[in-house]
Copies of this chain bind each other. A is one copy, B any other.
Amino acid sequence: MFAVQGARRNSAVITSLETFDVRFPTSRDLDGSDAMNPDPDYSAAYVVVGTDADDGIEGHGFAFTIGRGNDVQVAAIRALEPFVIGLPVDELRDASRMLLHDSQLRWLGPEKGVMHMAIGAVVNALWDLAAKRAGKPLWALLSEMSPEQLVSLVDFRYLTDVLTPGEALEILRRAQGGREERAARLLEHGYPAYTTTPGWLGYSDAKLARLCREAVEAGYGQIKLKVGASLDDDVRRMRIARDVCGPAIRIAVDANQRWDVGEAVRWIRALEPYDPWWVEEPTSPDDVLGHAAIRREVRPVRIATGEHVQNRVVFKQLMQAEAIDVVQIDAARVAGVNENIAILLLAAKFGLPVCPHAGGVGLCELVQHLAMFDFVAVSGALEDRVVEYVDHLHEHFVDPVVIREGRYLAPTAPGFSAEMTPEALTEHQYPSGAAWV
């Protein structure tokens, strides 16, 4: 349960907030290249919160960026320091709301962009701290909370026309039966993953074919290709991938917001003969009605989005408008664990599968916890659910993800798996670290 460390809970307060501008020079090869992001340097605006407890436990969190502007993201996290210092460590409901509803900071969004991601980084760091103090991996900590506790973590502002606290409670109560059995299943079998490793735009056809083959051999039931730069290239790459993988492997494609509505429809129709499992980010993540129009036109091809969806209000509308088939939460885009619980509840209400976005740096580490919590305590389902997996930069984490036979093994170490090694923080500090000098 959440309150396991009752003795400590009432005493410890946050006493420090440290930030790090951490960047990895991933643009030096073409890993991570897609139609909108040709040369990303995967980066983290990284935060560590400390307490006055004598246990030495710290909370770690970060916003993910792709290079330039990571310093702005760090400055936004720093701006939250005065709010966090002195905060009781386990008041995770109030902490999230206080950060979101400061009237002056709110003007910088509201609830979107740099300031919102900064709040997400800090809220996630507080959850990492809470889970470590409780001695549990985050997914288990959340999965053991009562429906009432979970509902109290959610900010229902702007959601009540679609999801009330009462409905959320019902969803969570329905999933109470079987929680322990599902947790045991997770610990034994893990959670299904898919891999984006074969599909980056910068790769040759031969490399694409080889990586597709390796993905199937490694046990993945789904892969993903980046598309959107050239239709001819995409048709050829999709045909190669389908030839190599055969009909039974799901092949998703990801346009990374490259198209306008009409262009998306034409492009998707050209790819349809190769049976794309879903088409991800066909257009602007802000364009709810655009996604809905595309989806209507290309049925039965499934539409997915979410990694750039700014907050629960836009997710709500994507579901209301029947604009998406797949909900792709991201652990570090919205305002942390609390807002992601709201999005999981919305998805459960609409009966849509959650297939988290991951990759970058540390996003796999974080989001696996949310997917596993969803399975144990919210949706109760694994059908058509997969977490993205990309094999980048895991070596820099203290508790990196472990993939076996195309599945994420359930983490067992206490915390949110967010902590980078001290060496990673030092060497990749921008611009002074060894990786950059």
Contact = CB atoms under 8 A, between A and B. Distances in A.
Interface of A: 36-41, 65-69, 71-73, 75-76, 79, 102-117, 157-161, 257, 260-262, 283-290, 293, 308, 310-311, 313-314, 316-317, 320-321
A110 B290 contact: no
A69 B38 CA distance: 31
Nearest to A73: B108
A102 B68 contact: yes
A107 B110 CA distance: 17
A8 to B, nearest CB: 31
15 contacts: A40-B107, A41-B104, A68-B79, A68-B102, A68-B104, A69-B76, A76-B114, A110-B308, A113-B113, A113-B114, A158-B287, A286-B313, A288-B288, A288-B289, A289-B321
B283 A104 contact: no
A105 B73 CA distance: 11
A157 B228 CA distance: 14
Contacts of A79: 68-69, 71-72
B161 A285 contact: no
Contacts of A310: 112-113, 286
A115 B112 contact: no
Contacts of A76: 69, 72, 114
Nearest to A114: B114
A269 to B, nearest CB: 16
Nearest to A40: B104
Given A72-B75, A260-B160, A286 B65 contact: no
Nearest to A68: B104
A378 to B, nearest CB: 22
B109 A113 contact: yes
A398 to B, nearest CB: 25
A262 B158 CA distance: 10
Contacts of A41: 104
B107 A158 contact: no
B286 A107 contact: no
Nearest to A37: B103
B115 A115 contact: no
Contact of A257 (B110, B117, B161, B257): B110
Contact of A114 (B65, B104, B108, B111): B108
B36 A286 contact: no
Contacts of A114: 72, 76, 108, 113-115
Chain A to chain B: the 6 pairs with minimum beta-carbon distance, closest first: A113-B113, A161-B261, A114-B114, A68-B104, A67-B104, A75-B75
Which residue, A103, A117, A257, A317, has most C-beta atoms of chain B within 10 A?
A103
Contacts of A290: 158, 161, 313, 317
Contact of A105 (B68, B109, B157, B158): B68
Contacts of A311: 286
Nearest to A118: B72
A69 B105 contact: yes
A299 to B, nearest CB: 17
A216 to B, nearest CB: 31
Contacts of A158: 260, 283-284, 286-287, 290
Given A104-B41, A104-B66, A110 B71 contact: no
Contacts of A284: 110-111, 157-158, 313
A293 to B, nearest CB: 7
Contact of A108 (B65, B159, B293): B65
A159 B308 CA distance: 19
Contacts of A72: 72, 75-76, 79, 108, 114-115
Contacts of A109: 112-113
A106 B104 CA distance: 24
A129 to B, nearest CB: 24
A161 B286 contact: no
A114 to B, nearest CB: 4
